[in-house]
Amino acid sequence: MFASLTRFSVFFAGALLVGLSLFVSMAHAHERIGTFSHAVVTVSGDRVAYYLNLPPVTLELLRNNIGVREDDLADYFRSELIVMTAEQECQLIQLVQPPPFPSGNRLVDMQYQCPVAVSDLTITSLLFLDLDESHTQFVRLAPPDDPGNVQHEAVLTASVKTFQLDNVETEGSPWLERALAFLKLGLEHLITGFDHILFILTVIIGLRFMQSIKAVTSFTVAHSLTMALAFLGTISLPASIVEPLIALTVIYVAIENIVRKEIPRRWIWTFVFGLIHGLGFVGALKVITVSQSELILSLVSFNIGIELGQILVVAVAMLLFKLIHKYPWRVWFDRVFSGGVALLGVFWLGQRLLA
């Protein structure tokens, strides 16, 4: 009787995991698109100029949303972008859209009038987050007569919406600011990447400690390698191929957990699959940075953030799995967990093939 109840509890827990994960996946299916934009901000007296560069993918997001018209953005930007100095809000007095660039990008030129001369500056941006919760905006402060001379830099996301400077005339450390911003971006990318997290958990769930270390290390080496090769332009695959392949890696590892009792050389397959996941990690990074020199720093910082997130996930998971594996029903737990992950992988695969 006790054994039956235990197995039922394990199956219930597995079903709950599948249900919750599926709900989260479906909730994010249409909201996490991965758009981005770049902004250069200049300050002159009581005026703030906000030059927002929108790539075609972000413009397409606007065109497909009936609540935001591309030819009439003033009201939208007035409500979603707040510029302040001395705790007083600056007013949007002019919005101009020059003809598009040959690349298809559009520049939105916004001029803000502040109640006093700008000394400190606070920018709060909710732009496009109502359309794509994963939208990333890169903001730079530069002198009006030399917009290429970056004084300060920030990356705004759903979790970091505010760019704040105590003194706009003080020179900052853009390289350090960029490194810290991309480290945080990499950490967020791993923590919010449910497919990557479930892949890692499914890899280590049935392994002993040293086997887990070998598998995770091979995964880290592999995805770092392909991130570097993709950055150099040596290899390149579109997201329409990479994302379904990532889903297939999740399915394979999950099924292997169910059908095989011992997996002594999992680190080999983990290395192979890590090469694929690396392409997924670097895909967005190549299009959201501007120059090669910036991309090197961004890549290294982004990868460090991913590794920190991975270490956190693995540490917590190994502790929990160690506790669970003390019980006789651990084999059932591993199989039900892996079965649930396999079903999610199938769902992701279908979703990505149809996208």
For residue range 51-66, list pLDDT tens digits in order: 999 988 888 887 777 4
The secondary structure element, H or E, covering residue 108 is strand 106-113
Examine the domain organization and report whether 313 and 275 are in the same domain: yes
Examine the domain organization and report whether 26 and 44 are in the same domain: no
pLDDT over 70 at 9, yes or no: no
**pTM score:** 0.74
Residue 181 forms part of a structural domain:
no
Examine the domain organization and report whether 227 and 157 are in the same domain: no
Tell me the range of 34-38, 230-234, 273-277, 283-287 where mean pLDDT is highest: 273-277
pLDDT digits (tens, 9 = 90+) for 14-29: 544 555 454 444 444 3
Examine the domain organization and report whether 20 and 72 are in the same domain: no
pLDDT higher for 248 or 13? Answer: 248
Residue 224's pLDDT is: 87
Taking the C-alpha atoms of residue 330 and residue 90, their distance in angstroms, rounded to an integer, is 60
Q: Is 307 left (phi over 0), alpha (psi -120 to 50) or beta?
A: alpha
Q: What is the CA radius of gyration of the chain?
A: 23
Long-range Cβ contact pairs of 263-270 (< 8 A, separation 24 or more): 263/206, 263/207, 263/211, 264/211, 266/203, 266/207, 266/211, 266/214, 266/215, 267/211, 267/214, 267/215, 267/217, 267/218, 268/218, 270/203, 270/215, 270/216, 270/218, 270/219, 270/222
Residue 180 forms part of a structural domain:
no
Examine the domain organization and report whether 280 and 235 are in the same domain: yes
Examine the domain organization and report whether 149 and 226 are in the same domain: no
Residues 6+ apart with CB under 8 A from 287: 36, 55
Residue 206's pLDDT is: 80
pLDDT digits (tens, 9 = 90+) for 166-178: 999 888 788 888 8
275: domain range? 2-32+192-354
Residue 5's pLDDT is: 43
Please state the domain count of the chain: 2
Examine the domain organization and report whether 221 and 323 are in the same domain: yes
Residue 177 forms part of a structural domain:
no
Which of 144, 172, 200 terminates a domain? The answer is 172
Residue 117 forms part of a structural domain:
yes
Residue 25's pLDDT is: 46
Residue 202: which pLDDT band, with cuts at 50, 70 and 90? very high
Examine the domain organization and report whether 243 and 282 are in the same domain: yes
On average, the pLDDT of the chain sits at: 83
